[in-house]
Amino acid sequence: MRKEEYAIILEYLPNGYVLEKRLMPIAQAIGELNLTLLELVPRRGISLEIGERVYIGEGKRDKIYYILGRLSHEKITEAAKNQLQEFISGIVKERKQEFIDFFNKSEAINKRIHQIELIPGFGKKHMKEILEKRKEKLFESFEDMKKRIQNLPDPEKAIEKRIIKELVEFERYKLFVK
């Protein structure tokens, strides 16, 4: 797994968390590559904008002093959750092929459950149809999927929902978030 180089600011708390004793600025962010939720501490005198892309890789960072650690799903603010929705929507559009490949290559987790069944709105019926149709010919796009499978929930929106769920709730199986 490659290390995160850049993160997108989801929430900036100039005075830190209200209920915590230490009052230091905190930024809630998401890594661009692995979709890791992070808590970042900005450099002294630096103010961060929501939606801003910041460098968090090795070496000199201009705006981020250090990475405090992973952001637990219990600590994520409502404002950060709203930003997350927008960011994830953009990521799914940007990395469309990666998610189409998921439908083309996904496998059974065990004898009772398949990865596709973990996608919101996709049950056994849709899973079986997807497996059948991809044997004939791999899917080329989300539109191709919708054309070939009747009553299929929007795969793009369903992937977005799954990623959000993996980020803000406890999920036993992680499909997209590392």
What is the tens place of the pLDDT at every residue in 43-80? 999 999 999 999 999 989 999 999 999 999 889 999 99
**Order of strands across the sheet that contains 64-70:** 53-55, 6-13, 26-31, 37-42, 64-70
Comma-separated ranges of CATH 1.10.150.280 domains in the chain: 95-168
Superfamily in which the 95-168 domain is placed by CATH: AF1531-like domain (1.10.150.280)
Give Cβ neighbours of residue 168 (< 8 Å, ≥ 6 apart): 73, 76, 81, 84
Predicted confidence at residue 81, as pLDDT, reads 93
Predicted confidence at residue 2, as pLDDT, reads 82
Comma-separated ranges of CATH 2.40.50.140 domains in the chain: 6-72
Under CATH, to which class is 6-72 assigned? mainly beta
For the chain, residues with pLDDT lower than 50 are none
pTM: 0.88
